[in-house]
Amino acid sequence: MTEVIDCRGQRCPLPVIALARRLPDLPVGATLRVLADDPAAATDIPAWCRMRGQHYLGSPAPHAFDVRREV
């Protein structure tokens, strides 16, 4: 089961903040799906993963972004 947080309707940087809050609750190796329709999310979620050493898995659907906890 992939965990999902729904950040639709939230403006940047709120979806990234929600991601940063939630991911540490998950075990290493788990995947978190962020739903976000702010146009900045597609850039900022991968950038956050790069800055924090987490793994950006891609966007399986419009406004959905999958992140795997690495550290």
Partner 1 sequence: MGVSEAYFDAASAAPLHPAARQALAAALDDGWADPARLYSRARRSRQLLDAARGATAEVLGVRPDELSFTAGGTAAAHAAVLGGLGGRERVGSAFVHSAIEHSAVLHAAERHVAAGGTAHEVGVDRLGRVDLDAFAAAVAGPGTALAALISASHEVGTVQPVEAAAEACALHGVPLYVDAAQSVGRVPVPGGWSILTASAHKWGGPPGVGLLVVRKGTRFRAPGPADERTDRSTDLPAIVAAAASLRAAQAEAAALAERHRALVDRIRATVAATVPDVEVVGDPERRLPHLVTFSCLYVDGEALLHALDRRGFAVSSGSSCTSSTLTPSHVLVAMGVLSHGNVRVSLHRDSAEADVDRFLAELPGIVTDLRAEAGVVDL
Q: Which is nearer to partner 1, 1 or 69 (CB)?
A: 69
Question: Smallest gap, in angstroms, from Cβ of residue 20 to partner 1?
Answer: 4
Which residue is listed with tokens 């309707």?
9
Interacting residues of 67 by C-beta distance below 8 A, sequence separation 6+: 19, 23, 31, 32, 33, 34, 45, 49, 54, 55, 56, 57
Please say if 7 is a catalytic residue.
no
For residue 40, state whether it binds partner 1 (rule: CB under 8 A).
yes
Residue 31, strand partner residues: 68
Q: Which is nearer to partner 1, 1 or 28 (CB)?
A: 28
Catalytic residues: 12
Residues that bind partner 1 (CB under 8 A): 11-13, 16-17, 20-21, 38-40, 42-44, 46-48, 51
